Amino acid sequence: MLGHDYAAAADIYSFGIVLAQLSSLETQPYAFEPCSRYLLPFRIAHEGLRPAMPSTCPQWYADLVAACVHTEPDARPTADGIVARLQARLSAGLRRIDDNELVEHTLVASSRSSIVIHGSHVGSPVAIKYFLQRTPRQVNEIVERMAALQSAHTVPLLGVTSAPALVMRYMPFNLRTWLQDGPIGWRRTRLVALRLAEAMAFLHNAGVVHGHLVPTNVFLDADDGVRLSDFGVDHDELESSTIDDDAAGFWTAPERLQGEAASVAADVFGLGLLFALLETQQEPYGSMRENASCRLMQIVAGNLRPLFTSSCPRWYSHLALDCMAHDPSHRPTATQVVATLVSNVEDFL
């Protein structure tokens, strides 16, 4: 308004106005100010007029808005600083669950680093995840990352115990068990593929690498919505069995089998494998006669990829194979995968 050059601080100011709108649910942040639209810019620029926050607004939120719309641009927080504040509030607001409130039922899954138990919390089914090889500080870091990424694309994190252990919503159907019910049909196949790609794009756009995209870490809601789990851990430190085990190796990108770190490109390779699973309803490479070691060697060399059924549309198989390109730099991004699926929307009908 004062004619200065546009800078990042101006974006932060605009973001603060958006935060104020979200709090008040008013599309016009100054709608109730008793002044004309000609006088309003003067009051904003020279008198420090700012949107009024509702009385129900939490103080920390009002303070964040005030910081973003500070009169002095240099006094406004950076985007990273805003993210840090929001993440801190999300993790701080996570419920602390008393161990005595939990009832453990059956073991769901186990590995060298963790176990997952089906249990209940005040009558509601939950999944309880205990970490075996991590310090409380490391677990708290995982909790913070998971809490910051709560959305329709992730398994809901309900709270944390003093152990510490994660308490999550229990979801009975992962992708593998869901497919065991029989043929799902073309429309549902493509819908789940789209939801899966959207979930992966959500993580990647948040700067998070999943690192272990396998059927047992993909869960489905009653309406076929896809939710991801096991995305908050440091996958560079996963136990060796995750990579060395033959079955797990078949879900792993070639560069990961050669010891490279987890990456968004490796996640996209896993996305292509899951697309093949959805279309064929068979484990990748499961119909091939070579022994496991030979198959893994061919995967690493780029000579082996899953097969698709004869009825699979070419655009779909091409998309999945593009995701599984041997050169990671040749794979599409998750956002590009979503765009391709959406552009073929007529195939969903």
Whether 1 is covered by a domain: the verdict is no
| pLDDT interval class at 311 (50, 70, 90) | very high
Q: What is the pLDDT of residue 348?
A: 55
pLDDT on residue 270: 96
Of 111, 141, 169, the residue at which a domain comes to its end is: 169
**Mean pLDDT across the stretch 128-153?**
84
Of residues 141 and 179, more confidence is placed in 179
Residue 187 burial (CB count, 10 A): 12
Q: Are residues 256 and 139 in the same domain?
A: no
Query: Could you give the CA distance from residue 34 to residue 186 in angstroms, rounded to a whole number?
Result: 58
Same domain, 112 and 83: no
pLDDT (average), residues 145-170: 88
Q: Which residue has the higher pLDDT, 314 or 111?
A: 314
Residue tagged 């926050």 (tokens): 53
Both 22 and 160 in one domain: the answer is: no
Please, what is the end-to-end C-alpha distance for the chain in angstroms? 50
Q: What is the average pLDDT across 266-273? A: 97
Q: Do 136 and 153 lie in a common domain?
A: yes
From 129, 150, 169, give the residue that closes a domain: 169
Do the Cβ atoms of 139 and 164 come closer than 8 Å? yes
> Domain check: are 228 and 128 in the same one?
no
Instruction: Identify which has the larger pLDDT, 52 or 118.
Output: 118
- What is the bridge-based pairing of β-strands 95-96 and 157-160? parallel
Residue 137 inside a domain? The answer is yes
pLDDT band at 125 (very low <50, low <70, confident <90, very high): very high
The reply to whether 43 falls in a domain is yes
Residue 3 lies in a domain: no
d(C-alpha 4, C-alpha 14), whole Å = 15
- HEC assignment per residue over the chain: CCCCCCCHHHHHHHHHHHHHHHHHCCCCCCCCCCCCCCCHHHHHHHCCCCCCCCCCCCHHHHHHHHHHCCCCHHHCCCHHHHHHHHHHHHHHCCEECCHHHEEEEEEEEECCCEEEEEEEECCEEEEEEEECCCCHHHHHHHHHHHHHCCCCCECCEEEECCCCEEEEECCCCEHHHHHCCCCCCHHHHHHHHHHHHHHHHHHHHCCCCCCCCCHHHEEECCCCCEEECCCCCCHHHCCCHHHHCHHHHCCCCHHHHCCCCCCHHHHHHHHHHHHHHHHHCCCCCCCCCCCHHHHHHHHHHCCCCCCCCCCCCHHHHHHHHHHCCCCHHHCCCHHHHHHHHHHCHHHHC
Q: Is the pLDDT of residue 239 over 50?
A: no
Considering 63-72, 91-100, 146-155, 308-317, the range whose residues carry the highest mean pLDDT is 308-317
Question: Residue 123: which domain range?
Answer: 95-169
Identify whether residues 99 and 193 lie together within a single domain: no
Highest mean pLDDT among 2-11, 142-151, 239-248: 142-151
- CATH number of domain containing 51: 1.10.510.10
The verdict on 199 and 100 lying in the same domain is: no
Mean pLDDT of the region 263-281: 96
* Predicted local distance difference test score (pLDDT) of residue 35: 67
- pLDDT at site 246: 43
Query: How far is it, in rounded angstroms, from Cα 171 to Cα 21?
Result: 35
pLDDT at 116 over 80: yes
Q: Is residue 207 part of a domain?
A: yes
Q: 335 and 199, same structural domain?
A: yes
Q: Does 244 score more than 60 pLDDT?
A: no
Residues 207 and 314 in one domain: yes
Confidence check: pLDDT of 10 > 80: yes
The domain total for the chain is 3
The verdict on residue 2 lying in a domain is: no
Mean pLDDT taken over the chain? 84
Q: φ and ψ at 24, to 5 degrees?
A: -95, -15
pLDDT at 338: 95
Both 189 and 275 in one domain: the answer is yes
Residue 59 and residue 100 share a domain: no
Same-domain pairing of 16 and 118: no
Of 48, 66, 92, the residue that ends a domain is: 92
Query: pLDDT at position 11, please?
Result: 93
d(CA 239, CA 243): 8
